[in-house]
């Protein structure tokens, strides 16, 4: 119970005012108190107080949280619902490991590169074919499986470890992340292209692993730490000027959560800090560090683009203006805002897999906002959001496509 006792003051600060209810997508969709921030917080508190047991209903309340952080922004009392949920998941993990089997399988798969590759391979080959043949399974749990991209081979196997340019200004180590490696390799290539066009040497460490966020988010701090340590060592060894990620979720893990994860290891913390200070998200790096030379950008075919703020971008990394700036600098690209641009798309790690009905309803709200905006293309900064939203659009029979900010920018450079 140690983890929860540590956050008891914050649990106690929640005065049940309910201001966070409207902010929370899971509540606004389901409309039951246990799926609201206030509900989750009170349940956690009641658990500590010994009033309730951590039964399946409790776990559902805790595990269905999107960790989107909207509640923390809305709370006048400074309570951070997402952090409390995180603590509660950690507490559950400590009580009995991650249950049930399926959840733990999914997390273990992500934690280990070889298993992950296996997973994607299965999916690519037999799995996808199999699912395709079964009617109605095209949209498995709200994910558009039929059209889900899968890389022919992982991005890391497609590129050399080091790509050098003529007159290097910066040395950038690229943290690819699971999604770009296995599924959206095209986006990974876009990132590399933008970097090289802007005179950066790119290092792509072959031994990189999952950042550890999925494990961390479900309370498995041990696995998360193992991956984090590997990542930190592998990247610092290469002595880069910057560690770059094009995944907002990886970004928030690498830059912020590692510090919390290792807070209990003061001896190692300086090294963590050194690493974290070098981490940049793609559009943040492009806007703030390399200063785009707009004259080098080629005119696109005219296109109307809107931007979706991933939760980890908007509320964790707090990067909202840079991606918009990057988009606006692309010639003939017309930028429009959609309604509720910074609200969660419903992906959120494993919530989409295990609370798919809820997650699908949330995605539907997002796709509606996209359609209403009149945009033809949705740009965003997180591969999980890309897949989720594209699936939602396909599911609804819409024509809009979802791309990474890096993809649009890369297209604007001559080959």
Q: Which residues form the interface with ligand SF4 (CB under 6 A)?
A: 14-20, 23-26, 37-38, 40-41, 65-71, 74-75, 77, 79, 81-82, 85
Binding at 31: pick from ligand SF4, another protein, none (beta carbon under 5-8 Å per type) = another protein
Pick the closer one to ligand SF4 by CB: 25 or 366: 25
12 binds another protein (CB under 8 A): yes
Binding at 214: pick from another protein, ligand SF4, none (beta carbon under 5-8 Å per type) = none
Pick the closer one to ligand SF4 by CB: 26 or 196: 26
Pick the closer one to ligand SF4 by CB: 24 or 345: 24
Pick the closer one to another protein by CB: 52 or 131: 52
Pick the closer one to ligand SF4 by CB: 17 or 130: 17
Site string for another protein, 27-46 (x = CB under 8 A): ----xxxx----x--xx--x
Total Cβ atoms within 10 A of residue 122: 12
Q: According to CB under 8 A, which one of 2, 50, 53, 414 is a site residue for another protein?
A: 53
Contact region with another protein (CB under 8 A), list: 26-34, 194-202, 292-300, 306-314? 26-34
Under rule CB under 8 A, which residues in 316-355 are in contact with another protein?
none
Q: How far apart are CA 304 and CA 22, in angstroms?
A: 30
Pick the closer one to another protein by CB: 57 or 264: 57
Pick the closer one to another protein by CB: 76 or 266: 76
Site string for another protein, 76-105 (x = CB under 8 A): xxxx--------------------------
Taking only Cα atoms into account, the Rg of the chain, rounded to an integer number of angstroms, comes to 21
Shortest distance (Å) from residue 156 CB to another protein: 43
Which positions lie near another protein, rule CB under 8 A?
9, 12-22, 31-34, 39, 42-43, 46, 51-53, 55, 57-58, 61, 74-79
């Amino acid at each position: 119970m140690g983890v929860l006792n540590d956050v008891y003051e914050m649990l106690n600060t929640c005065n049940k005012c309910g201001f966070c209810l409207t902010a929370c997508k899971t509540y606004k969709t389901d409309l039951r108190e246990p799926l609201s921030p206030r509900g989750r917080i009170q349940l956690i508190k009641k658990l500590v107080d010994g009033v309730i047991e951590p039964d399946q209903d409790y776990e559902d309340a805790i595990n269905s949280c999107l960790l989107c952080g909207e509640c923390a922004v809305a709370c006048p009392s400074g309570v951070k619902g997402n952090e409390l949920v995180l603590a509660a998941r950690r507490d559950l993990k400590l009580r009995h490991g991650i249950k049930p089997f399926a959840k733990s399988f999914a997390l273990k798969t992500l934690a280990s590169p070889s298993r992950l590759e296996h997973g994607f391979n299965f999916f690519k080959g037999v799995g996808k074919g199999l699912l395709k043949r079964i009617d109605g399974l095209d949209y498995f749990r709200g994910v558009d499986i039929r059209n889900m991209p899968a890389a022919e081979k992982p991005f890391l196997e497609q590129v050399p470890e080091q790509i050098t340019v003529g007159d290097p200004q910066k040395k950038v180590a690229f943290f690819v992340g699971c999604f770009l490696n296995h599924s959206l390799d095209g986006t990974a290539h876009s990132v590399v292209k933008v970097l090289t066009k802007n005179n950066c040497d790119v290092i792509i460490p072959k031994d990189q692993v999952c950042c550890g966020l999925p494990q961390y988010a479900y309370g498995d701090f041990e696995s998360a730490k193992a991956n984090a340590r590997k990542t930190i060592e592998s990247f610092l060894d290469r002595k880069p000027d910057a560690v770059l990620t094009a995944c907002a979720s990886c970004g928030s893990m690498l830059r912020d959560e590692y510090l919390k994860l290792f807070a209990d290891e003061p001896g190692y913390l300086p090294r963590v800090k050194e690493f974290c200070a070098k981490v940049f998200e793609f559009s943040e790096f492009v806007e703030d560090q390399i200063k785009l030379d707009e004259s080098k950008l080629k005119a696109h075919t005219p296109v109307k683009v809107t931007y979706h703020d991933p939760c980890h971008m908007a509320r964790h990394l707090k990067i909202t203006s840079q991606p918009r700036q990057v988009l606006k600098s692309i010639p003939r690209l017309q930028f429009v805002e959609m309604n509720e641009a910074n609200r969660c798309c419903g992906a959120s790690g494993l919530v989409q897999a295990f609370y798919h009905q809820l997650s699908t309803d949330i995605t539907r709200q997002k796709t509606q906002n996209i359609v209403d905006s009149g945009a033809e293309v949705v740009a965003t900064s997180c591969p999980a959001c890309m897949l989720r939203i594209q699936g939602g659009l396909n599911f609804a029979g819409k024509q809009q496509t979802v791309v990474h900010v890096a993809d649009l920018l890369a297209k604007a450079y001559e080959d």
